[in-house]
Amino acid sequence: MGLQERKIESLPFVTAELNYLAPIEGKPRTYAFDPPPGEPKSTSLPEPHKVPIFDARLIAQNFSLDREGFALVRHPTQVKDFYNEDEVRAVYYPAVEAFLRATLKADRVVIFDHTVRKRVEGAPDIRDGGPRQPATRVHVDQTITSGTNRVREHLPDEADELLKGRVQVINLWRPIRGPLRDSPLAMADGTTVKPEDLVASDLIYPNRRGETYSVKYNPNHRWFYFPEMTPDEALLLKCYDSATDGRTRFGPHTAFVDPTTPADAAPRESIEVRTLVFHRQ
């Protein structure tokens, strides 16, 4: 066991249940709206596994998007109300674009959507019905196919030229209120995830079909979280990377129930902004 391994194994951790993908026949699919009669909402069935999730605060500076697939950053914001769509687009979007351009040394950053989440006990996760619920299954937001498709979908006239360079889909995630103690986010170390652990899964909308990765259980996965995040902190999550030079291309993540969460903790409120990040090569 190397020095880095010993350092990680000595970190504090919690043991929590994460929902992986149970084995099924055929390609998993989930409807983002009420499914046709006789069809289940989703064929992706959860397979819960209890795993250690390490507190990464003490080694936060060691993580990088290119190696582990996630990073903790300090990112104060001027937004007063994240539930105000106009304010988010007018104030938050330009700040996120500028921050990612500088932090990732990118030539261009394009935001293509955002999601506000607020955990409501027992509520289903319904799209277009107000704040979404935390995502409680291990997943990656994009796949090899959908990462490329995002460029063609949002920048069709420039796609061919942009796809000649490096393209990433980066999610900037932050708590709206803090310190966050309820439903924190767990991130898998991308160096412990094998390509065969990722299962392309259809996400069916009324007018299009997206694709995400569900994740099969692998006991070698190593999980981390940053407890008690504040609204001045954010996580960068890698959802896709066109680079094939050995760096991490996909970062599985999920919300989880932290067994140490106080009973009176405020329900999690968070916002995530999904972006296309371009580098000329």
φ, ψ for residue 221, nearest 5 deg: -60, 135
Q: According to the model, what pLDDT value does residue 8 have?
A: 84
Distance CA(56)–CA(72), nearest Å, equals 9
Query: What letter does residue 4 receive in the DSSP assignment?
Result: H
Q: According to the model, what pLDDT value does residue 207 have?
A: 87
Amino acid at 263: A
End-to-end CA distance of the chain: 37
In tens digits, what is the pLDDT along the chain, a chain of 281 residues? 444 665 788 999 999 999 999 999 999 999 988 899 999 999 999 999 999 999 999 999 999 999 999 999 999 999 999 999 999 999 999 999 999 999 999 999 999 999 999 998 766 666 666 678 899 999 999 999 999 999 999 999 999 999 999 999 999 999 999 899 999 999 999 999 999 999 999 999 888 899 999 999 999 999 999 999 999 999 999 999 999 999 999 999 999 999 999 999 999 999 999 999 999 87
